[in-house]
Amino acid sequence: MDSDFHDITLSVNGKQYQRRVESRLLLSDFIRHDLALAGTHVGCEHGVCGACTVLLDGDSARACLMFAVQADGRGVETVESLGRIGQMNALQESFHEHHALQCGFCTPGMLMTATDLLRKYPLATDDDIRKGLSGNLCRCTGYEHIVKAIRAVVDKGHQRP
């Protein structure tokens, strides 16, 4: 086999995939182009904006800072795992109700980071939420609404994602 290519097996949103990938292929490009899961956005491509955030074995990770081969044998969750139009989960509903998106470019990354936070931490204060989101940038500067949306999920005792 050409050493620039690798056979990988991974789970994405609970589905198993086997693919042959180039060594240099970024995980973000693999998810978007090879798997056609375009909900994961790509902004800066150098780890600054958080738009490409996915969960890797349950922990948030920048898909633009990883190669697809590094996800071999692991479990990835993308924004498509949360819900869909007509079947949104509580976090997505809350983003909708609290106007927590404007252009929506940062939204997949915000939702995946928030999912990680809601699973792991009590988020007792808004500061806890802000600190948790500090690695995600919103160019539309809608931060207050995003914090309110996550706060509402915590306060209303909705089922956490």
Q: Which residue ranges make up the site for ligand FES (CB under 6 A)?
A: 42-45, 47-52, 62, 64, 101-106, 138-140, 142
Residue with tokens 């780890």: 47
Least distance (Å) from ligand FES to the CB of residue 20? 24
Residues 115 and 98: their CA atoms lie apart, in Å, by 17
Q: How far is the CB of 137 from ligand FES (least distance, A)?
A: 7
Sheet with 53-56, strands from edge to edge, namely 15-22, 5-12, 75-77, 53-56, 59-62
Closer of 7 and 144 to ligand FES (Cβ): 144
CA distances for 75 relative to 42, 122, 138, 151, angstroms: 20, 24, 27, 28
Nearer to ligand FES, 111 or 117 (CB): 111
Query: 11 or 102, CB closer to ligand FES?
Result: 102
Q: Would you say 20 or 44 has its CB closer to ligand FES? A: 44
CB of 148 to ligand FES, least distance (A): 14
Is-contact 136 60, C-beta < 8 A? no
What residue has token string 């007792």? 124
Length of the chain: 161
Shortest Å distance, C-beta 108 to ligand FES: 10
Give 20 or 82: the residue with its C-beta nearer to ligand FES. 82
Shortest distance in whole angstroms from residue 122 CB to ligand FES = 25
| C-alpha to C-alpha distance for 125 and 10, rounded to whole angstroms | 36
